[in-house]
Chains A and B, each alone.
Chain A
Amino acid sequence: MLWLRAPTVLILAALVLLPIGIVVYQSFLDEPFFAPVARLSLSSYEFILGEPDFKRAFLTTLALAAGMTAIAVPLGAVLAFLVVRTDLPGKSWIEPALLVPIVLSPIVIAFGYVVAVGPVGFASLAFKRLIGFVPWNLYSFASLVVIAGLTHVPHVYLFSSASLRKLNLELEEQARVMGAPPWRVALSVSLPLAWPALVYAGVLIFFLGFELFGLPLIIGDPANVLVLTTYLFKLTNILGTPSYQLMAVVVVAMALVTLPLVYLQRYLLRIAERYVTMGGKGAQSRPLRLGRWRFVALAAIVIWLLVAIGLPLAGVLLRAFVSRWGEGVNPFDNLTLQNFVDLAEYPNLVGGIVNTFLLATVGAAAAVAAYALIALAVHRWRSPLVAMVDYLVLLPRSLPGLVAGLAFLWVFLFVPYLGVLRSSLVGLWLAYSVVWLAFGLRLISATLTQIAPELEEAARVIGAPPGRALRDVTLPLIRFGLMSSWLLCFMIFVREYSTGVYLQGPGTEVLGPLIVTLFGGGSLELVAALSVVNVVLVAAGLALALRLGVRI
């Protein structure tokens, strides 16, 4: 197996370290790294560390990341438990509905909230008519944390559900036989068993908090809430011309955050092998009966769905179908399909849709194949390289959107032989796959850690070569992880924008960057219409996938 393991890990290391390496190198220079006059210097570090804004942004980001993790992880875990393990009513529509926030660009979600509950949002105006004032303020740090937390519940859900589906049902069964109520089963049996998935999800969500841009820009900035990414945005312009060296220092600071985070992850998972749950036996069993709690649980989920998905989606839908909105406007007098007509006339739109879905379906499948290869390569491998992989995996996410696209452009421009990938869909695919590596890969690793070694050993004992054991035992056992991973990549590749900005061009345009370009140009009616088209297409794709037997 070593012949497979070592090269996989080395290629992975190269792909991750190239873009990061350029940025780290850049941080120690006083000019763009490609400028002939560039000299080694610590001046950028001096500048950034001397900026009070940087310190403020760093602390705010830390608080935002912690807050959103504290909201998203418990809610996502409970949601997954309810949907996967209990007789909750309405599961068939809850599952697809809860994935919507992953498909929408964060700036679109934020804009949806503005149209719904902003100062002149439709819900705000309704409350004003009813009680004379608006009982909330969208533009605040608190709203930012709550919205960021609630809209990342689906990510945690995907992690937890993939792992809960493969739990050993007997364990829960036994607890139930002993007379434990459902919440007790969840807390004392399922939770410890889903532990690896939750640790991975927690670490990833926390780190995603560092990378959030659209939400802090639209919801936080009006209230003077400065986070690292909005600070980075200002750095592009603070010296007049984009100062890569200053931006690079901020990225290095973000990359350093991954070190304690991965250390913590490894510490929390040290005991994971004790929770190997997919043993030799496994039986289909009835879902847990919630009894009278069924509808309480359903009500709680519906409320979450309304706040986290209903509000922003309603805002986007409304904006897509009206010519104007806001205070003193009755939206129903201004209904129109003109936005969609204008959208249809937008140059190269069809090409963009085709490219996007090619990338999201075939591309996501290829990414999952690569992730699975990496996960298997390090699976049960006693080598110091495995620790290195743990640290590597999170690194690409420390490139915030504004920098990721540029870093990959530099990789394709300045690394020999990679030039052919620039302005090609393959280049886009590679960049997307590296940036979202942690998410796709961890969904697979979380399910892999659940498999008891005796299953694979059994196959080997009866004489199956490693390849055969892999194909007939391991892969079928992690299929839920693979499917969740594909689903997540599918949706993220549809919406991903910043990574692609510098890599796409005529012929390779994709929808994510187009949405951001339109947003920047202020054509919010087109942004809304395009987002609706996106959601409809993804929903259709999802429905088809579910029909074909994909399980979330």
Chain B
Amino acid sequence: MNLSTLTVAVVAALVLSAVVPAAAQTVPPGYPADYAAIIAAAEQEGAVAVYSTTDSASADALLKDFRALYPKLQIKFYDLNSTEVYNRYLSETAANAETADVLWSGSIDLQLKLVADGHALTYRSPEAGKMPKWAVHEDRAFGTTFEPLVIAYNKRLLPADAVPKSHGDLLRLLKEKPQLFAGGKLTTYDPEKSGFAFMLMTHDEKYFPQFWDLAAAFGHGTGRFYPSSGTMIERITSGEHLLGFNVIGSYVVLRQRKDPDLGLVYPSDYVLVMSRVAFIPKNAKRPNAAKLFLDYLLSARAQKIMANQATLFSVREDVEGPYSAAALAKELGATLKPIAVDMSLLAALAPAKRLATLRKWQETARAQ
């Protein structure tokens, strides 16, 4: 921060505080003093529009707390799926129409595609220093959560000694006791219908050399494939499927609160971890309000809510709670394999490679 920008910021803050009759919000502890200018400008903007794949119910605790923190800001929260977030933002931007101020989506690859295409604002968040390195991409894209991909199973129906403890275990079980899961008793994410699932598949290929044997074991009617974790969990708890592979852990723990028969295993060989990525589009109409919301998502205050009541799994290492990266690290250590928020993910978007991989999936997991 040099002197002239500081002066500008201070002047701006003074001017704005003169315009706004009520005193501007106090700067959160540890933030630079000129943050007051951002707050004041955000309050002038009056609202922040968020396109999000986190459903309103899960995000509610965060939104309420954000409102308590900045009562003068209205949150326009759009509850969409990841394709809708992408399509809507891209179309609105192309038409120069008003769009989101923050894009917050679990489809890491689609988010990074937008960042790579130059849509993201570069912003040095005061919280960035507290974030793990892999979760921040060039001060443009920020991973906000730390959600493990787990094995979920039905405790009522799957004998305890048959529950696999790792990816290798699962493959062995399917080979040794194929009758246990015959007729669609196993479920996993559908890479044909969900780009997120495809991304998981490319990471499983990386960490588990026998992945395609596993895919082949899903074939011949053993596996059923869905485009969302929620559907998998519903069908596992009903007993239609005994076990689900690569289910998002945050949804599993949420459901466990209602249904004690839902079991969860962190695979002992490696645990993939996904992070909902947030960025501020360059053309955001309310960039200051967007900064407040982004900084809030990364703040210890919001992360604590994610680690506790929101069960979204906090990403910051300095935040404790039952659903936190810290707690997972204590239990699982180096087996945790977060999907890094970086451009290497875009390789999987190359059409030719992608089509070939999907064809392979059809020939193995979808084999009749």
Contacts and interface: CB of A to CB of B under 8 A. Distances in A.
Given A326-B240, A521-B230, A34 B91 contact: yes
A501 interface: yes
B349 A409 contact: no
Given A233-B193, A328-B157, A240 B239 contact: no
B86 interface: yes
B76 A240 contact: no
A234 B193 contact: yes
> From DSSP, what is the main secondary structure of chain A's interface residues?
loop
A520 B81 contact: yes
Most buried by A among B192, B259, B354, B366: B192
A414 B60 contact: no
Given A240-B109, A241-B86, A413-B95, A234 B192 contact: yes
A506 B56 CA distance: 11
Interface string B339-352: 00000000011110
Given A506-B77, A522-B228, A413 B239 contact: no
B87 A347 contact: no
B251 A237 contact: no
A236 B83 contact: yes
Contact of B56 (A32, A221, A238, A346): A346
Nearest to B56: A347
Among A118, A221, A414, max chain B CB count under 10 A is at A221
A422 B98 CA distance: 10
Interface in B53-91: 55-57, 60, 63, 76-81, 83-84, 86-88, 90-91
A329 B76 CA distance: 41
Contacts of B110: 241
A233 B95 CA distance: 25
B42 interface: no
Interface in A507-532: 514, 517-524, 526
A541 interface: no
A89 interface: no
Given A35-B94, A233-B193, A413-B95, A326 B229 contact: no
A222 B235 CA distance: 13
A74 interface: no
A242 interface: yes
Interface residues of A, number: 55
A99 B198 CA distance: 40
A170 interface: no
Contacts of A188: none
B84 to A, nearest CB: 6
Interface string A407-440: 0011001100001001000000000000000000
A480 to B, nearest CB: 40
A120 B239 contact: yes
A239 B356 CA distance: 11
A120 B97 contact: no
A103 to B, nearest CB: 22
A445 to B, nearest CB: 35
B258 interface: yes
Interface string A316-359: 00000001111111000000001000100111100000000000
Given A222-B224, A347-B56, A238 B76 contact: no
Contacts of B358: 238
B321 interface: no
A520 B76 CA distance: 21
Given A237-B195, A327-B239, A242 B86 contact: yes
A520 B259 CA distance: 20
Interface in A136-170: 139
Contacts of B348: 240
B336 interface: no
Interface string A227-266: 0000001101111111000000000000000000000000
Contacts of A526: 57
B307 interface: no
B55 A240 contact: no
Contacts of A326: 237-240
Contacts of B135: none
A410 B157 contact: no
Nearest to A230: B193
A324 B258 contact: yes
A505 interface: yes
Contact of A522 (B234, B239, B261): B234
B368 interface: yes
Nearest to A239: B351
B261 A324 contact: yes
B113 interface: yes
A409 B91 contact: yes
A60 to B, nearest CB: 15
A453 interface: no
A67 interface: no
Which bucket holds chain B's interface residue count? 35 or more
Give the one of A114, A115, A241 with max B CB within 10 A.
A241
A207 to B, nearest CB: 25
Contact of A327 (B109, B113, B224, B238): B238
Contacts of B233: 522
Contact of A520 (B60, B230, B350): B230
A523 B230 contact: yes
B81 A329 contact: no
Given A324-B237, A324-B261, A406-B91, A523 B351 contact: no
Of the listed residues A224, A324, A522, the one surrounded by the most CB atoms of chain B closer than 10 A to its CB is A522
B84 A502 contact: yes
Nearest to B92: A413
B83 A237 contact: yes
Given A237-B193, A506-B76, A520-B228, A419 B94 contact: no
Nearest to B234: A524
Contacts of A182: none
B366 A240 contact: no
A109 to B, nearest CB: 16
A522 B366 contact: no
B168 interface: no
A119 interface: yes
A518 B95 contact: no
B238 A120 contact: yes
Contact of B55 (A32, A233, A325, A518): A518
Contact of B230 (A139, A324, A524): A524
B230 A329 contact: no
A237 B233 CA distance: 23
A232 to B, nearest CB: 11
B133 interface: no
Given A240-B349, A324-B259, A347-B56, A521 B234 contact: no
A224 B228 CA distance: 18
B231 interface: yes
B175 interface: no
A460 B192 CA distance: 63
A518 B231 CA distance: 10
Contacts of A139: 184
A318 to B, nearest CB: 11
B301 interface: no
A54 B324 CA distance: 45
A224 B230 contact: no
B230 A522 contact: yes
B150 to A, nearest CB: 15
Interface of B: 49, 55-57, 60, 63, 76-81, 83-84, 86-88, 90-92, 94-95, 97, 109-110, 113, 156-157, 183-184, 192-195, 198, 224-225, 227-234, 237-240, 251, 258-259, 261, 348-351, 354-355, 358, 366, 368
Given A410-B91, A422-B97, A506-B77, 11 more contacts: A222-B184, A233-B227, A237-B193, A241-B113, A242-B87, A338-B258, A345-B60, A346-B56, A413-B95, A502-B87, A522-B233
Q: Which 10 A-B pairs have the closest CB atoms?
A: A522-B230, A326-B238, A327-B239, A240-B349, A34-B94, A413-B95, A326-B239, A521-B55, A506-B76, A328-B156
6 contacts: A32-B90, A114-B240, A224-B368, A237-B193, A517-B80, A523-B55
